């Protein structure tokens, strides 16, 4: 067991990689009643073509990682939610582009709940009948998202940005793609991605580190896992350009929703370079278009944006893009003004004062995040799967300079790389 001290944030982490490859991290939080645990696999919606070791590549239906997440909750003995409920734990799971996370939070019976979490995720139970039954439920989940304008404009943007990379595929798939899922394909994905060496257990809250490690070591030692070869993920070559410059969908909305996305030409960063790139871009966007920027105030005063307006930056080794937008009465005017302002800034650069404020804001936001066990577990796992340490993020923010940010500004805003997604009222 390795002890990692982070004195600047007053936290201590304990870490161990077990013999079967499972990585376990414990972050004790003194004085907390709650324990929050996540058991995550580095497997998400983008992992739809893969091989193991020297095996042949396999292509699986879209939405299968999410389908698998749903089906894991069913055991031969019944629904696992009931077991967690009996142990006073609130359980859940989610699937993102690059990971699937199972979790619980509880204030008592922590050992029992940890055992339950590990055991149910390590015990798949799929039958023809239970797979069929789930299709009806997931179709309703897909329909629910279809009615959600925020979701439609966001995923519409990603679809407009990417030609080939599976990040543009809906996480839940479509009614058609999930129709093709069988128990055999589920087992195949399960065997590949739920091997302990592809997983991370994170426990944070009112626990003692050594007790958690003892429990997990014993639990894993009692189970047999075949050693597994390396997982290879295959992605078609993604062209530099965006797929669709402008994508419009129709839904009943009071005002159009409009998002701008800039696609990075150069994806493929990993490790430290990826983290530095992400931190610098987020700082740059905050200084450029955050709520205290001149541009934000200008747009707000002209009634072109509202409180829903925001920005984010998503990056992984396979894709990287920014998202800027919100509700607007006039998407074209909004896009035009953002373009004019950015082109002006490309000449002058971001001001030093704006940069310093953005930096303070990001540092404060990061530290506030550390109050939340859920956020810590989520962020830690996300960064870990990209070979980064979440606790380094603070240092990267501190080290970032005005020159870095201005260079990022010039690289990122290439209007050839812009895609726009709009959701508007039918017929408007």
Near other proteins by CB under 8 A, which window of 187-195, 264-272, 352-360, 377-385? 352-360
- Coil, strand, or helix at residue 2? strand
User: Of 337, 308, 340, 339, whose CA–CA distance to 325 is shortest?
Assistant: 308
What residues form DSSP beta bridges with 21? none
Contact flag: residue 294 with other proteins (CB under 8 A): yes
Cα separation, 353 vs 61, whole angstroms = 50
Going from the C-alpha of 96 to that of each of 42, 47, 111, 255, the distances in angstroms are 10, 11, 27, 28
Nearest-approach distance from CB 177 to other proteins, in angstroms: 17
Contact flag: residue 106 with other proteins (CB under 8 A): yes
Cα separation, 58 vs 187, whole angstroms = 13
Of 182, 241, 364, 415, the residue at the interface with other proteins (CB under 8 A) is: 364
And the tokens for 421? 């997604």
Within residues 218-277, the interface with other proteins by CB under 8 A covers 250-255, 257
Cα separation, 302 vs 327, whole angstroms = 13
In this structure, how many other beta carbons lie within 10 angstroms of the beta carbon of residue 54? 8
Contact flag: residue 373 with other proteins (CB under 8 A): yes
Contact flag: residue 348 with other proteins (CB under 8 A): no
Tell me how many residues contact other proteins (CB under 8 A): 70
Contact flag: residue 428 with other proteins (CB under 8 A): no
By beta-carbon proximity to other proteins, the closer residue of 188 and 298 is: 298
Per-residue contact string for residues 115-134; x = within reach of other proteins by CB under 8 A: ------------------xx
Per-residue contact string for residues 304-343; x = within reach of other proteins by CB under 8 A: --xxx------------------x----------------
Contact flag: residue 87 with other proteins (CB under 8 A): yes
What is the DSSP-derived secondary structure letter of residue 113?
H
Nearest-approach distance from CB 92 to other proteins, in angstroms: 8
The DSSP string of 220-278 is HHTS-------EEE--PPPPSS-S-SEEEEE---SS-EEEEEEE-S-----HHHHHHHH
User: Of 122, 134, 210, whose CA–CA distance to 173 is shortest?
Assistant: 134
Per-residue contact string for residues 2-31; x = within reach of other proteins by CB under 8 A: ------xxx--------------------x
Contact flag: residue 114 with other proteins (CB under 8 A): no
Of 208, 360, 399, 410, the residue at the interface with other proteins (CB under 8 A) is: 360
Of 4, 17, 144, 218, the residue at the interface with other proteins (CB under 8 A) is: 144
The question of whether 250 is a catalytic residue gets the answer no
Nearest-approach distance from CB 144 to other proteins, in angstroms: 5
Radius of gyration of the chain (CA): 23
Catalytic residue among 11, 16, 30, 69: 69
Dihedral angle computed from the Cα positions of residues 409, 415, 419 and 420, in that order, rounded to the nearest 10 degrees: 90
And the tokens for 80? 């696992």
Question: By CB neighbour count within 10 A (0-12 exposed, 13-18 middle, 19+ buried), where does 355 fall?
Answer: buried
Where do contacts with other proteins occur on this chain (CB under 8 A)? Answer: 8-10, 31-34, 79, 81-82, 85-91, 105-108, 133-134, 136-138, 140-141, 143-144, 146-150, 205, 250-255, 257, 290-292, 294, 297, 300-301, 303, 306-308, 327, 357-358, 360-365, 367-368, 370-373, 426
Residues annotated as catalytic are 69
């Amino acid at each position: 067991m390795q002890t990692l001290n982070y004195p600047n944030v007053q936290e201590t982490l304990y870490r161990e990689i077990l013999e079967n490859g499972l990585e376990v991290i414990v972050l004790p939080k003194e004085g907390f009643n709650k324990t929050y645990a996540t058991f995550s696999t580095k497997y998400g919606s983008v992992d739809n073509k893969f091989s193991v070791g020297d095996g042949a590549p396999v292509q699986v239906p879209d939405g299968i990682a999410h389908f698998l997440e749903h089906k894991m909750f069913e055991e031969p003995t019944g629904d696992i939610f009931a077991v967690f409920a009996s142990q006073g734990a609130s359980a859940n799971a989610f699937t993102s582009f690059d990971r699937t996370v199972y979790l619980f939070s509880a204030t008592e019976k922590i050992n029992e709940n940890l055992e339950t979490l590990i055991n149910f995720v390590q015990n798949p139970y799929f039958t023809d009948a239970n797979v069929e039954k789930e299709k009806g439920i997931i179709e309703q989940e897909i329909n629910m998202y279809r009615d959600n304008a925020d979701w439609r404009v966001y995923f519409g943007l990603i679809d407009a940005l990417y030609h080939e990379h599976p990040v543009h595929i809906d996480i839940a798939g479509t009614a058609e793609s999930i129709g093709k899922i069988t128990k055999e394909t589920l087992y195949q994905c399960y065997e590949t991605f739920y091997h302990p060496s592809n997983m991370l257990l994170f426990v944070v809250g009112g626990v003692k580190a050594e007790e958690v490690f003892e429990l997990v070591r014993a639990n894993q030692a009692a189970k047999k896992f075949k050693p597994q070869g390396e997982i290879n993920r295959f992605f078609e070559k993604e062209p530099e350009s965006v797929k669709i410059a402008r994508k419009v969908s129709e839904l009943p909305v009071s005002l159009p929703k409009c998002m701008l996305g800039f696609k990075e030409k150069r994806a493929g960063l990993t490790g430290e370079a990826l983290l530095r790139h992400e931190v610098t871009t987020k700082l740059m966007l905050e200084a450029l278009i955050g709520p205290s920027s001149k541009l934000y105030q200008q747009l707000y005063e002209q009634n072109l944006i509202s409180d829903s307006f925001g920005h984010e930056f998503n990056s992984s080794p396979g894709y990287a893009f920014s998202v800027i937008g919100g509700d607007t009465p006039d998407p074209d005017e909004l896009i035009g003004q953002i373009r004019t302002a950015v082109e002006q800034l490309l000449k002058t650069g971001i001001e030093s004062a704006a940069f310093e404020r953005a930096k303070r804001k990001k540092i404060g936001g990061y530290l506030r995040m550390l109050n939340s066990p859920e956020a810590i577990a989520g962020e830690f796992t996300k960064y870990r799967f990209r070979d980064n340490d979440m606790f380094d993020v603070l240092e990267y923010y501190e080290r970032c300079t005005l020159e870095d940010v201005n260079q990022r500004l010039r690289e990122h805003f290439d209007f050839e790389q812009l895609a726009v997604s709009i959701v508007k009222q039918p017929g408007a």
